[in-house]
Structure 1
Amino acid sequence: MNKRQTRLFAIGSTAVATLVFLGLTVDSHRQFPTLTNADKLTPEVVAGKDVWHKFNCINCHTLFGEGAYYAPDLTKITQLRGEQYLTAYMKNPAQFYDEQRHRRLMPKQDLSDQEIKNLIAFLAWVSNVDNQGWPPRPILVTGATIPGTDTTASQKVESASAMAPPAARPVTGGENPMALGERVFRSTSPACNACHSVAPGVNMAGPSLAGVGSRALQAIATPGYKGKAKDAQAYIREAILEPSAHIVPGAMYSADGVSFMPNTYGQSLKPEQIEQLTAYLMSLK
Protein backbone atom coordinates (compact mmCIF):
# COMPACT_ATOMS: atom_id res chain seq x y z
CA MET A 1 0.00 0.00 0.00
CA ASN A 2 1.51 3.30 -1.11
CA LYS A 3 1.17 6.67 0.63
CA ARG A 4 -1.84 7.71 -1.43
CA GLN A 5 -3.69 4.49 -0.67
CA THR A 6 -2.80 4.76 3.01
CA ARG A 7 -4.14 8.31 3.10
CA LEU A 8 -7.37 7.32 1.37
CA PHE A 9 -7.81 4.34 3.70
CA ALA A 10 -7.37 6.58 6.78
CA ILE A 11 -9.82 9.16 5.42
CA GLY A 12 -12.35 6.48 4.50
CA SER A 13 -12.08 4.72 7.87
CA THR A 14 -12.51 8.01 9.70
CA ALA A 15 -15.57 8.86 7.59
CA VAL A 16 -17.18 5.46 8.24
CA ALA A 17 -16.47 5.66 11.98
CA THR A 18 -17.91 9.20 12.08
CA LEU A 19 -21.07 8.09 10.28
CA VAL A 20 -21.52 5.14 12.66
CA PHE A 21 -20.99 7.41 15.67
CA LEU A 22 -23.49 9.98 14.37
CA GLY A 23 -26.00 7.21 13.61
CA LEU A 24 -25.70 5.77 17.11
CA THR A 25 -26.00 9.25 18.63
CA VAL A 26 -29.15 10.04 16.66
CA ASP A 27 -30.64 6.64 17.55
CA SER A 28 -29.84 7.16 21.24
CA HIS A 29 -31.53 10.56 21.28
CA ARG A 30 -34.50 9.04 19.47
CA GLN A 31 -34.91 6.48 22.29
CA PHE A 32 -34.18 8.76 25.25
CA PRO A 33 -37.79 9.94 25.77
CA THR A 34 -39.00 6.33 26.03
CA LEU A 35 -36.06 4.97 28.00
CA THR A 36 -36.09 7.81 30.53
CA ASN A 37 -39.87 8.20 30.86
CA ALA A 38 -39.53 11.89 30.00
CA ASP A 39 -43.32 12.23 29.93
CA LYS A 40 -43.37 11.29 33.63
CA LEU A 41 -41.23 14.26 34.68
CA THR A 42 -43.88 15.85 36.88
CA PRO A 43 -43.29 18.95 39.03
CA GLU A 44 -43.14 16.61 42.04
CA VAL A 45 -40.33 14.59 40.44
CA VAL A 46 -38.39 17.76 39.60
CA ALA A 47 -38.88 19.01 43.17
CA GLY A 48 -37.60 15.64 44.43
CA LYS A 49 -34.47 16.02 42.32
CA ASP A 50 -33.92 19.39 43.99
CA VAL A 51 -34.26 17.72 47.40
CA TRP A 52 -31.68 15.10 46.32
CA HIS A 53 -29.20 17.86 45.50
CA LYS A 54 -30.13 20.13 48.41
CA PHE A 55 -29.25 17.46 50.96
CA ASN A 56 -26.23 16.19 49.00
CA CYS A 57 -27.54 12.62 48.92
CA ILE A 58 -25.03 11.83 46.16
CA ASN A 59 -22.20 12.44 48.63
CA CYS A 60 -22.94 8.97 50.03
CA HIS A 61 -25.34 7.23 47.62
CA THR A 62 -25.21 6.46 43.91
CA LEU A 63 -27.74 6.57 41.08
CA PHE A 64 -27.04 4.46 37.98
CA GLY A 65 -23.71 3.62 39.61
CA GLU A 66 -22.64 7.29 39.67
CA GLY A 67 -21.91 9.10 42.91
CA ALA A 68 -20.17 8.20 46.13
CA TYR A 69 -19.68 4.59 47.18
CA TYR A 70 -20.17 4.99 50.92
CA ALA A 71 -23.82 3.92 50.89
CA PRO A 72 -25.98 1.72 48.62
CA ASP A 73 -26.96 2.51 45.06
CA LEU A 74 -30.58 3.76 45.11
CA THR A 75 -31.38 3.35 41.41
CA LYS A 76 -34.05 0.69 42.02
CA ILE A 77 -34.82 1.35 45.69
CA THR A 78 -38.54 2.05 45.15
CA GLN A 79 -38.85 -1.37 43.49
CA LEU A 80 -37.41 -2.98 46.62
CA ARG A 81 -39.05 -0.94 49.39
CA GLY A 82 -42.58 0.36 49.78
CA GLU A 83 -43.44 4.04 50.22
CA GLN A 84 -44.34 3.54 53.89
CA TYR A 85 -40.93 2.07 54.64
CA LEU A 86 -39.06 4.81 52.77
CA THR A 87 -41.10 7.53 54.46
CA ALA A 88 -40.46 6.14 57.93
CA TYR A 89 -36.76 5.66 57.16
CA MET A 90 -36.28 9.23 55.93
CA LYS A 91 -38.13 10.65 58.93
CA ASN A 92 -35.81 8.92 61.38
CA PRO A 93 -33.13 6.57 59.99
CA ALA A 94 -31.85 5.74 63.48
CA GLN A 95 -35.00 3.68 64.13
CA PHE A 96 -33.79 1.13 61.60
CA TYR A 97 -30.28 0.45 62.84
CA ASP A 98 -27.82 0.73 65.67
CA GLU A 99 -24.84 2.85 64.63
CA GLN A 100 -22.44 1.01 66.93
CA ARG A 101 -23.56 -2.43 65.80
CA HIS A 102 -24.32 -1.87 62.12
CA ARG A 103 -21.89 0.98 61.48
CA ARG A 104 -24.32 2.96 59.37
CA LEU A 105 -24.10 6.70 59.73
CA MET A 106 -27.20 7.86 57.88
CA PRO A 107 -27.86 11.33 59.32
CA LYS A 108 -31.29 12.55 60.34
CA GLN A 109 -31.89 15.24 57.75
CA ASP A 110 -35.14 16.62 59.22
CA LEU A 111 -36.86 16.55 55.84
CA SER A 112 -40.40 17.91 55.73
CA ASP A 113 -43.26 15.59 54.79
CA GLN A 114 -43.48 17.27 51.37
CA GLU A 115 -39.74 16.93 50.77
CA ILE A 116 -39.92 13.23 51.60
CA LYS A 117 -42.88 12.78 49.26
CA ASN A 118 -41.06 14.61 46.46
CA LEU A 119 -37.84 12.67 47.00
CA ILE A 120 -39.70 9.35 46.83
CA ALA A 121 -41.39 10.53 43.61
CA PHE A 122 -37.96 11.34 42.14
CA LEU A 123 -36.53 7.95 43.17
CA ALA A 124 -39.61 6.23 41.73
CA TRP A 125 -39.03 8.02 38.42
CA VAL A 126 -35.36 6.98 38.49
CA SER A 127 -36.27 3.37 39.21
CA ASN A 128 -38.45 3.23 36.08
CA VAL A 129 -35.71 4.49 33.77
CA ASP A 130 -34.58 1.68 31.46
CA ASN A 131 -30.91 1.64 32.44
CA GLN A 132 -30.16 -1.32 30.15
CA GLY A 133 -29.01 -3.41 33.13
CA TRP A 134 -26.45 -0.86 34.31
CA PRO A 135 -24.83 -1.16 36.76
CA PRO A 136 -24.56 -4.90 36.00
CA ARG A 137 -24.84 -5.82 39.69
CA PRO A 138 -26.01 -4.05 42.85
CA ILE A 139 -23.26 -1.92 44.36
CA LEU A 140 -22.80 -3.34 47.85
CA VAL A 141 -20.94 -1.36 50.45
CA THR A 142 -19.46 -3.15 53.45
CA GLY A 143 -21.16 -1.98 56.61
CA ALA A 144 -23.58 0.21 54.69
CA THR A 145 -25.73 -2.17 52.68
CA ILE A 146 -29.32 -3.17 53.05
CA PRO A 147 -29.08 -6.04 55.59
CA GLY A 148 -28.27 -9.38 54.07
CA THR A 149 -26.97 -8.09 50.72
CA ASP A 150 -23.26 -8.19 51.54
CA THR A 151 -21.41 -11.37 52.35
CA THR A 152 -18.03 -9.86 53.13
CA ALA A 153 -16.09 -11.09 56.12
CA SER A 154 -16.73 -7.89 58.04
CA GLN A 155 -20.48 -8.25 57.69
CA LYS A 156 -20.31 -11.91 58.71
CA VAL A 157 -18.69 -10.75 61.92
CA GLU A 158 -21.35 -8.08 62.17
CA SER A 159 -24.10 -10.66 61.66
CA ALA A 160 -22.60 -12.86 64.32
CA SER A 161 -22.63 -9.98 66.78
CA ALA A 162 -26.30 -9.45 65.98
CA MET A 163 -27.31 -12.82 67.37
CA ALA A 164 -28.26 -11.35 70.73
CA PRO A 165 -31.98 -11.59 71.59
CA PRO A 166 -34.13 -8.73 70.25
CA ALA A 167 -34.80 -7.50 73.76
CA ALA A 168 -31.10 -6.66 74.11
CA ARG A 169 -31.81 -3.20 72.73
CA PRO A 170 -34.54 -1.27 74.58
CA VAL A 171 -37.63 -0.34 72.62
CA THR A 172 -38.75 3.25 73.01
CA GLY A 173 -42.29 4.43 72.54
CA GLY A 174 -43.46 5.51 69.09
CA GLU A 175 -40.97 3.46 67.08
CA ASN A 176 -42.13 2.38 63.66
CA PRO A 177 -43.27 -1.29 63.43
CA MET A 178 -41.25 -1.82 60.24
CA ALA A 179 -38.15 -0.46 61.96
CA LEU A 180 -38.69 -2.78 64.90
CA GLY A 181 -39.33 -5.65 62.47
CA GLU A 182 -36.06 -4.98 60.65
CA ARG A 183 -34.30 -5.10 64.00
CA VAL A 184 -35.93 -8.48 64.73
CA PHE A 185 -34.86 -9.65 61.26
CA ARG A 186 -31.24 -8.92 62.11
CA SER A 187 -31.08 -9.80 65.78
CA THR A 188 -33.42 -12.68 66.56
CA SER A 189 -31.82 -16.04 67.29
CA PRO A 190 -31.20 -17.58 64.85
CA ALA A 191 -30.98 -14.33 62.90
CA CYS A 192 -33.10 -14.23 59.75
CA ASN A 193 -30.34 -12.48 57.78
CA ALA A 194 -27.96 -15.33 58.57
CA CYS A 195 -29.85 -17.37 55.94
CA HIS A 196 -31.88 -14.85 53.94
CA SER A 197 -30.80 -11.92 51.81
CA VAL A 198 -33.12 -9.07 50.86
CA ALA A 199 -31.25 -8.38 47.60
CA PRO A 200 -32.83 -9.67 44.37
CA GLY A 201 -31.32 -12.94 43.18
CA VAL A 202 -28.95 -13.31 46.15
CA ASN A 203 -29.83 -16.72 47.55
CA MET A 204 -27.99 -17.95 50.63
CA ALA A 205 -28.85 -20.89 52.88
CA GLY A 206 -32.41 -19.71 52.33
CA PRO A 207 -34.01 -17.97 49.35
CA SER A 208 -33.82 -14.21 48.84
CA LEU A 209 -36.73 -12.38 50.45
CA ALA A 210 -36.61 -9.54 47.93
CA GLY A 211 -40.17 -8.90 46.80
CA VAL A 212 -41.71 -11.29 49.33
CA GLY A 213 -44.38 -8.71 50.13
CA SER A 214 -45.49 -8.82 46.49
CA ARG A 215 -44.87 -12.54 45.89
CA ALA A 216 -46.95 -13.67 48.86
CA LEU A 217 -50.26 -13.25 47.03
CA GLN A 218 -48.89 -15.12 44.02
CA ALA A 219 -47.92 -18.03 46.27
CA ILE A 220 -51.42 -18.21 47.77
CA ALA A 221 -52.95 -18.23 44.28
CA THR A 222 -50.89 -21.20 43.07
CA PRO A 223 -52.83 -24.50 42.75
CA GLY A 224 -50.28 -26.29 44.96
CA TYR A 225 -50.62 -23.95 47.95
CA LYS A 226 -51.44 -26.02 51.05
CA GLY A 227 -51.40 -23.35 53.77
CA LYS A 228 -54.32 -21.56 55.40
CA ALA A 229 -53.46 -17.93 54.64
CA LYS A 230 -55.96 -15.78 52.76
CA ASP A 231 -53.88 -12.64 52.26
CA ALA A 232 -50.21 -11.64 51.90
CA GLN A 233 -49.77 -10.61 55.53
CA ALA A 234 -51.20 -13.90 56.79
CA TYR A 235 -48.97 -15.84 54.37
CA ILE A 236 -45.81 -14.19 55.67
CA ARG A 237 -46.88 -14.73 59.28
CA GLU A 238 -47.60 -18.40 58.46
CA ALA A 239 -44.17 -18.76 56.80
CA ILE A 240 -42.51 -17.51 60.00
CA LEU A 241 -44.49 -19.68 62.41
CA GLU A 242 -45.06 -22.77 60.24
CA PRO A 243 -42.38 -22.83 57.54
CA SER A 244 -43.45 -26.31 56.39
CA ALA A 245 -47.08 -25.27 55.86
CA HIS A 246 -46.28 -24.65 52.20
CA ILE A 247 -43.24 -25.99 50.37
CA VAL A 248 -42.45 -24.46 47.00
CA PRO A 249 -42.16 -27.36 44.52
CA GLY A 250 -38.65 -27.95 43.25
CA ALA A 251 -37.02 -25.65 45.80
CA MET A 252 -33.83 -26.88 47.45
CA TYR A 253 -34.72 -25.50 50.86
CA SER A 254 -36.66 -28.52 52.11
CA ALA A 255 -36.57 -32.31 52.20
CA ASP A 256 -39.43 -34.80 52.44
CA GLY A 257 -41.95 -32.01 52.85
CA VAL A 258 -40.13 -30.39 55.78
CA SER A 259 -38.60 -26.93 55.47
CA PHE A 260 -35.01 -26.41 56.60
CA MET A 261 -36.12 -23.18 58.28
CA PRO A 262 -36.44 -23.44 62.09
CA ASN A 263 -40.01 -23.80 63.33
CA THR A 264 -39.27 -22.35 66.75
CA TYR A 265 -39.95 -18.67 66.16
CA GLY A 266 -43.41 -19.04 67.63
CA GLN A 267 -41.74 -19.84 70.97
CA SER A 268 -38.68 -17.58 70.78
CA LEU A 269 -40.47 -14.45 69.57
CA LYS A 270 -43.22 -12.52 71.29
CA PRO A 271 -46.50 -12.00 69.39
CA GLU A 272 -45.71 -8.31 68.87
CA GLN A 273 -42.30 -9.23 67.45
CA ILE A 274 -43.98 -11.57 64.96
CA GLU A 275 -46.23 -8.70 63.87
CA GLN A 276 -43.27 -6.31 63.60
CA LEU A 277 -41.28 -8.81 61.53
CA THR A 278 -44.32 -9.35 59.30
CA ALA A 279 -44.69 -5.59 58.81
CA TYR A 280 -41.04 -5.32 57.77
CA LEU A 281 -41.25 -8.23 55.32
CA MET A 282 -44.45 -6.77 53.85
CA SER A 283 -42.44 -3.66 52.97
CA LEU A 284 -40.13 -5.69 50.66
CA LYS A 285 -41.67 -5.05 47.25
Structure 2
Amino acid sequence: MTRSQARMFAIVSTALVTIAFLGMTIDSHRQFPKLTHEDKMTPQVLAGKDVWHKFNCTNCHTLLGEGAYYAPDLTKIAVQRGPQYLKAFLHDPSQFYDEQKVRRVMPKQNLSDQQIDDLVVFLDWIAHIDTQGWPPRRILVSGAAIPGTNMQQTAQASTSMQPAAPSSDPVAQGQALFNATPPACSACHSISPGVNLAGPSLAGIGTRAAQTIADPSYKGKAKDAAQYIHESIVNPSAHLVPGPTYSAGGRSFMPDNFGKELTPQQIDQLVAYLTTLK
Protein backbone atom coordinates (compact mmCIF):
# COMPACT_ATOMS: atom_id res chain seq x y z
CA MET A 1 0.00 0.00 0.00
CA THR A 2 1.42 3.35 -1.04
CA ARG A 3 1.45 6.43 1.20
CA SER A 4 -1.46 8.02 -0.69
CA GLN A 5 -3.46 4.80 -0.48
CA ALA A 6 -2.83 4.56 3.26
CA ARG A 7 -3.91 8.17 3.69
CA MET A 8 -7.09 7.57 1.68
CA PHE A 9 -7.80 4.38 3.67
CA ALA A 10 -7.48 6.30 6.94
CA ILE A 11 -9.74 9.12 5.71
CA VAL A 12 -12.44 6.78 4.40
CA SER A 13 -12.30 4.57 7.52
CA THR A 14 -12.60 7.60 9.79
CA ALA A 15 -15.52 8.93 7.74
CA LEU A 16 -17.35 5.58 7.90
CA VAL A 17 -16.84 5.26 11.65
CA THR A 18 -18.03 8.84 12.16
CA ILE A 19 -21.15 8.23 10.07
CA ALA A 20 -21.88 5.01 11.96
CA PHE A 21 -21.38 6.76 15.32
CA LEU A 22 -23.66 9.65 14.34
CA GLY A 23 -26.28 7.25 13.04
CA MET A 24 -26.25 5.21 16.25
CA THR A 25 -26.39 8.39 18.34
CA ILE A 26 -29.38 9.73 16.43
CA ASP A 27 -31.14 6.36 16.62
CA SER A 28 -30.49 6.14 20.38
CA HIS A 29 -31.98 9.57 21.00
CA ARG A 30 -34.95 8.60 18.85
CA GLN A 31 -35.62 5.59 21.07
CA PHE A 32 -34.90 7.21 24.46
CA PRO A 33 -38.49 8.41 25.09
CA LYS A 34 -39.86 4.89 24.61
CA LEU A 35 -37.05 3.06 26.40
CA THR A 36 -37.11 5.37 29.42
CA HIS A 37 -40.92 5.84 29.40
CA GLU A 38 -40.27 9.51 30.11
CA ASP A 39 -44.01 10.17 29.90
CA LYS A 40 -44.24 8.45 33.31
CA MET A 41 -41.76 10.90 34.90
CA THR A 42 -44.10 12.50 37.42
CA PRO A 43 -43.26 15.22 39.97
CA GLN A 44 -42.96 12.47 42.59
CA VAL A 45 -40.37 10.67 40.47
CA LEU A 46 -38.36 13.89 40.31
CA ALA A 47 -38.77 14.36 44.07
CA GLY A 48 -37.44 10.84 44.60
CA LYS A 49 -34.46 11.63 42.39
CA ASP A 50 -33.76 14.64 44.60
CA VAL A 51 -33.84 12.36 47.67
CA TRP A 52 -31.41 9.98 45.94
CA HIS A 53 -28.93 12.79 45.36
CA LYS A 54 -29.51 14.62 48.64
CA PHE A 55 -28.55 11.56 50.68
CA ASN A 56 -25.68 10.62 48.36
CA CYS A 57 -27.04 7.15 47.62
CA THR A 58 -24.82 7.00 44.53
CA ASN A 59 -21.75 7.11 46.77
CA CYS A 60 -22.37 3.42 47.47
CA HIS A 61 -25.04 2.16 45.07
CA THR A 62 -25.26 2.08 41.30
CA LEU A 63 -28.10 3.00 38.94
CA LEU A 64 -27.91 2.26 35.23
CA GLY A 65 -24.17 1.67 35.51
CA GLU A 66 -23.46 4.93 37.33
CA GLY A 67 -22.36 4.90 40.94
CA ALA A 68 -19.76 3.61 43.33
CA TYR A 69 -20.17 -0.18 42.86
CA TYR A 70 -19.54 -0.50 46.60
CA ALA A 71 -23.08 -1.62 47.43
CA PRO A 72 -25.57 -3.55 45.25
CA ASP A 73 -26.78 -2.18 41.94
CA LEU A 74 -30.35 -0.92 42.44
CA THR A 75 -31.42 -0.54 38.82
CA LYS A 76 -34.06 -3.30 39.14
CA ILE A 77 -34.50 -3.33 42.91
CA ALA A 78 -38.12 -2.11 42.78
CA VAL A 79 -39.32 -5.07 40.73
CA GLN A 80 -37.12 -7.54 42.61
CA ARG A 81 -38.13 -6.51 46.10
CA GLY A 82 -41.41 -4.61 45.80
CA PRO A 83 -42.52 -1.36 47.50
CA GLN A 84 -43.48 -2.84 50.87
CA TYR A 85 -40.04 -4.35 51.39
CA LEU A 86 -38.27 -1.19 50.25
CA LYS A 87 -40.28 1.07 52.53
CA ALA A 88 -39.66 -1.14 55.56
CA PHE A 89 -35.96 -1.45 54.70
CA LEU A 90 -35.50 2.30 54.29
CA HIS A 91 -37.18 2.97 57.63
CA ASP A 92 -34.60 0.84 59.43
CA PRO A 93 -32.05 -1.19 57.42
CA SER A 94 -30.56 -2.75 60.56
CA GLN A 95 -33.70 -4.85 61.03
CA PHE A 96 -32.89 -6.78 57.87
CA TYR A 97 -29.41 -8.03 58.73
CA ASP A 98 -26.96 -8.50 61.55
CA GLU A 99 -24.22 -6.00 60.71
CA GLN A 100 -21.64 -7.72 62.87
CA LYS A 101 -22.15 -11.02 61.06
CA VAL A 102 -22.58 -9.94 57.45
CA ARG A 103 -20.51 -6.74 57.75
CA ARG A 104 -22.96 -4.49 55.97
CA VAL A 105 -22.74 -0.78 56.65
CA MET A 106 -26.02 0.57 55.24
CA PRO A 107 -26.71 3.55 57.52
CA LYS A 108 -30.10 4.56 58.81
CA GLN A 109 -30.77 7.80 56.95
CA ASN A 110 -33.75 8.91 59.07
CA LEU A 111 -35.82 9.59 55.98
CA SER A 112 -39.32 10.94 56.41
CA ASP A 113 -42.28 8.86 55.22
CA GLN A 114 -42.72 11.22 52.28
CA GLN A 115 -39.07 10.98 51.31
CA ILE A 116 -39.26 7.19 51.43
CA ASP A 117 -42.40 7.16 49.30
CA ASP A 118 -40.78 9.49 46.76
CA LEU A 119 -37.58 7.44 46.63
CA VAL A 120 -39.50 4.19 46.11
CA VAL A 121 -41.49 5.77 43.25
CA PHE A 122 -38.22 6.98 41.70
CA LEU A 123 -36.66 3.51 41.97
CA ASP A 124 -39.79 1.99 40.47
CA TRP A 125 -39.52 4.36 37.50
CA ILE A 126 -35.86 3.42 37.06
CA ALA A 127 -36.71 -0.29 37.29
CA HIS A 128 -39.11 -0.05 34.35
CA ILE A 129 -36.59 1.53 32.00
CA ASP A 130 -35.74 -0.83 29.16
CA THR A 131 -32.05 -1.30 29.93
CA GLN A 132 -31.48 -3.89 27.19
CA GLY A 133 -30.36 -6.45 29.78
CA TRP A 134 -28.27 -4.15 32.00
CA PRO A 135 -27.06 -4.86 34.66
CA PRO A 136 -25.72 -8.20 33.40
CA ARG A 137 -26.13 -9.95 36.74
CA ARG A 138 -28.75 -9.67 39.43
CA ILE A 139 -28.10 -7.97 42.74
CA LEU A 140 -26.97 -9.96 45.76
CA VAL A 141 -28.67 -8.75 48.91
CA SER A 142 -28.89 -11.08 51.88
CA GLY A 143 -31.68 -10.88 54.39
CA ALA A 144 -31.52 -12.43 57.85
CA ALA A 145 -28.04 -13.40 58.97
CA ILE A 146 -27.18 -17.08 59.19
CA PRO A 147 -25.05 -18.31 62.08
CA GLY A 148 -21.68 -19.41 60.74
CA THR A 149 -22.36 -18.07 57.25
CA ASN A 150 -20.63 -15.03 55.87
CA MET A 151 -21.80 -12.68 53.15
CA GLN A 152 -19.76 -14.35 50.41
CA GLN A 153 -21.17 -17.80 51.23
CA THR A 154 -24.71 -16.43 51.20
CA ALA A 155 -24.16 -14.77 47.83
CA GLN A 156 -22.66 -17.94 46.37
CA ALA A 157 -25.59 -19.98 47.62
CA SER A 158 -28.05 -17.66 45.94
CA THR A 159 -26.35 -18.00 42.55
CA SER A 160 -25.34 -21.64 42.63
CA MET A 161 -28.26 -22.64 40.41
CA GLN A 162 -27.90 -21.53 36.82
CA PRO A 163 -30.85 -21.37 34.43
CA ALA A 164 -31.53 -24.77 32.92
CA ALA A 165 -31.25 -25.41 29.22
CA PRO A 166 -34.44 -25.04 27.15
CA SER A 167 -36.71 -28.02 27.72
CA SER A 168 -40.31 -29.08 27.32
CA ASP A 169 -40.29 -30.47 30.86
CA PRO A 170 -42.35 -28.16 33.14
CA VAL A 171 -39.95 -28.79 36.04
CA ALA A 172 -36.92 -27.76 33.97
CA GLN A 173 -38.81 -24.77 32.62
CA GLY A 174 -39.77 -23.79 36.17
CA GLN A 175 -36.17 -24.07 37.32
CA ALA A 176 -35.00 -21.84 34.46
CA LEU A 177 -37.74 -19.33 35.24
CA PHE A 178 -36.84 -19.36 38.95
CA ASN A 179 -33.33 -18.21 38.07
CA ALA A 180 -34.34 -15.80 35.30
CA THR A 181 -34.73 -12.02 35.59
CA PRO A 182 -37.61 -11.34 35.67
CA PRO A 183 -39.13 -12.70 37.86
CA ALA A 184 -35.81 -13.00 39.75
CA CYS A 185 -37.11 -15.48 42.35
CA SER A 186 -33.55 -16.53 43.19
CA ALA A 187 -32.62 -12.92 43.98
CA CYS A 188 -34.78 -13.15 47.11
CA HIS A 189 -35.08 -16.88 47.80
CA SER A 190 -32.33 -19.44 48.23
CA ILE A 191 -32.92 -23.17 47.76
CA SER A 192 -30.16 -24.01 50.24
CA PRO A 193 -31.23 -25.05 53.77
CA GLY A 194 -30.88 -22.23 56.30
CA VAL A 195 -29.78 -19.64 53.74
CA ASN A 196 -32.34 -16.86 54.13
CA LEU A 197 -32.00 -13.92 51.76
CA ALA A 198 -34.61 -11.17 51.43
CA GLY A 199 -37.17 -13.96 51.65
CA PRO A 200 -37.10 -17.30 53.47
CA SER A 201 -35.23 -20.27 52.05
CA LEU A 202 -37.35 -22.49 49.80
CA ALA A 203 -35.33 -25.61 50.57
CA GLY A 204 -37.80 -28.40 51.26
CA ILE A 205 -40.81 -26.26 50.33
CA GLY A 206 -42.45 -29.25 48.65
CA THR A 207 -42.56 -30.98 52.03
CA ARG A 208 -42.97 -27.96 54.30
CA ALA A 209 -45.98 -26.72 52.33
CA ALA A 210 -48.09 -29.67 53.47
CA GLN A 211 -46.97 -29.09 57.06
CA THR A 212 -47.89 -25.40 56.83
CA ILE A 213 -51.37 -26.17 55.53
CA ALA A 214 -51.95 -28.59 58.40
CA ASP A 215 -50.89 -25.99 60.99
CA PRO A 216 -53.83 -24.28 62.76
CA SER A 217 -52.20 -20.88 62.15
CA TYR A 218 -52.55 -21.26 58.37
CA LYS A 219 -55.19 -18.84 57.06
CA GLY A 220 -54.99 -19.48 53.32
CA LYS A 221 -57.21 -21.58 51.07
CA ALA A 222 -54.76 -24.17 49.71
CA LYS A 223 -55.53 -27.87 50.12
CA ASP A 224 -52.20 -29.35 49.05
CA ALA A 225 -48.57 -28.37 48.52
CA ALA A 226 -49.01 -27.32 44.88
CA GLN A 227 -51.96 -25.08 45.74
CA TYR A 228 -50.04 -23.53 48.63
CA ILE A 229 -47.05 -22.69 46.41
CA HIS A 230 -49.37 -21.28 43.74
CA GLU A 231 -51.13 -19.18 46.40
CA SER A 232 -47.79 -17.92 47.72
CA ILE A 233 -46.85 -16.67 44.25
CA VAL A 234 -50.08 -14.90 43.29
CA ASN A 235 -51.26 -13.88 46.77
CA PRO A 236 -48.22 -13.79 49.08
CA SER A 237 -50.15 -12.16 51.95
CA ALA A 238 -52.64 -15.04 52.19
CA HIS A 239 -50.30 -16.66 54.70
CA LEU A 240 -47.42 -14.78 56.29
CA VAL A 241 -44.25 -16.69 57.06
CA PRO A 242 -43.02 -15.64 60.52
CA GLY A 243 -40.02 -13.34 60.45
CA PRO A 244 -39.47 -9.60 61.01
CA THR A 245 -37.93 -9.16 57.54
CA TYR A 246 -40.67 -10.94 55.61
CA SER A 247 -43.81 -8.92 56.36
CA ALA A 248 -45.27 -5.99 58.25
CA GLY A 249 -48.76 -4.74 58.99
CA GLY A 250 -50.36 -7.95 57.77
CA ARG A 251 -48.77 -7.71 54.31
CA SER A 252 -45.96 -9.74 52.84
CA PHE A 253 -42.92 -7.90 51.50
CA MET A 254 -43.03 -10.17 48.46
CA PRO A 255 -44.38 -8.30 45.40
CA ASP A 256 -48.04 -9.14 44.83
CA ASN A 257 -48.08 -8.57 41.07
CA PHE A 258 -46.72 -11.91 39.86
CA GLY A 259 -50.25 -13.07 39.11
CA LYS A 260 -50.36 -10.32 36.47
CA GLU A 261 -46.71 -10.26 35.39
CA LEU A 262 -46.47 -14.03 34.81
CA THR A 263 -48.66 -16.13 32.57
CA PRO A 264 -50.70 -18.99 34.08
CA GLN A 265 -48.35 -21.40 32.31
CA GLN A 266 -45.28 -19.79 33.88
CA ILE A 267 -46.83 -19.95 37.34
CA ASP A 268 -47.62 -23.65 36.78
CA GLN A 269 -43.99 -24.20 35.74
CA LEU A 270 -42.71 -22.54 38.92
CA VAL A 271 -45.09 -24.64 41.01
CA ALA A 272 -43.95 -27.81 39.22
CA TYR A 273 -40.31 -26.99 40.01
CA LEU A 274 -40.80 -25.87 43.62
CA THR A 275 -42.86 -28.95 44.53
CA THR A 276 -39.78 -31.07 43.72
CA LEU A 277 -37.78 -29.38 46.50
CA LYS A 278 -38.24 -31.95 49.23
For the aligned pair, the TM-score class normalised by the smaller chain equals 0.5 to 0.7
> How many residue pairs are counted as aligned between the two chains?
196
Q: CA deviation at 1:130?
A: 0.8
Q: CA deviation at 1:79?
A: 0.4
Separation (CA, whole Å) in 1 of partners of 2:197 and 2:105:
24
* TM-align CA RMSD: 4.0
Separation (CA, whole Å) in 1 of partners of 2:113 and 2:187:
29
Q: CA deviation at 1:203?
A: 6.4
Within a 5 Å distance, the mapping from 1:1-285 to structure 2 comes to 1-140=1-140, 145-147=141-143, 154-155=150-151, 199-200=186-187, 204-205=191-192, 234=220, 274=242, 279=247, 282-285=252-255
| Contact 2:63-2:75 within 8 A present in 1 as well | yes
What one-letter code is carried by the residue in structure 2 that aligns with 1:38? E
| Contact 2:65-2:135 within 8 A present in 1 as well | yes
| Contact 1:102-1:158 within 8 A present in 2 as well | no
Separation (CA, whole Å) in 1 of partners of 2:240 and 2:189:
29
C-alpha distance 9-69 of structure 1, shift in aligned 2 (>3 A): closer
Query: What percent identity do the matched residue pairs reach?
Result: 49
| Contact 1:64-1:75 within 8 A present in 2 as well | yes
Equivalent residue of 2:17, what SS?
A: helix
C-alpha distance 108-204 of structure 1, shift in aligned 2 (>3 A): same
TM-score scaled by length of structure 2: 0.58
C-alpha distance 63-275 of structure 1, shift in aligned 2 (>3 A): closer
Separation (CA, whole Å) in 2 of partners of 1:28 and 1:46:
23
Separation (CA, whole Å) in 2 of partners of 1:39 and 1:96:
35
What residue is the counterpart of 2:206 in the other structure? Answer: none
Separation (CA, whole Å) in 1 of partners of 2:228 and 2:121:
37
Q: CA deviation at 1:18?
A: 0.9
Cα shift readout 1:214-273 (whole Å, capped 9, x = no counterpart): xxxxxxxxxxxxx89xxxx837xx69xx7577789xxxxxxxxxxxxxxxxxxxxxx996
Cα shift readout 1:12-52 (whole Å, capped 9, x = no counterpart): 11111111111111001101111111111111111101100
| Contact 1:59-1:68 within 8 A present in 2 as well | yes
TM-score scaled by length of structure 1: 0.57
Equivalent residue of 2:220, what SS?
A: helix
| Contact 2:94-2:108 within 8 A present in 1 as well | yes
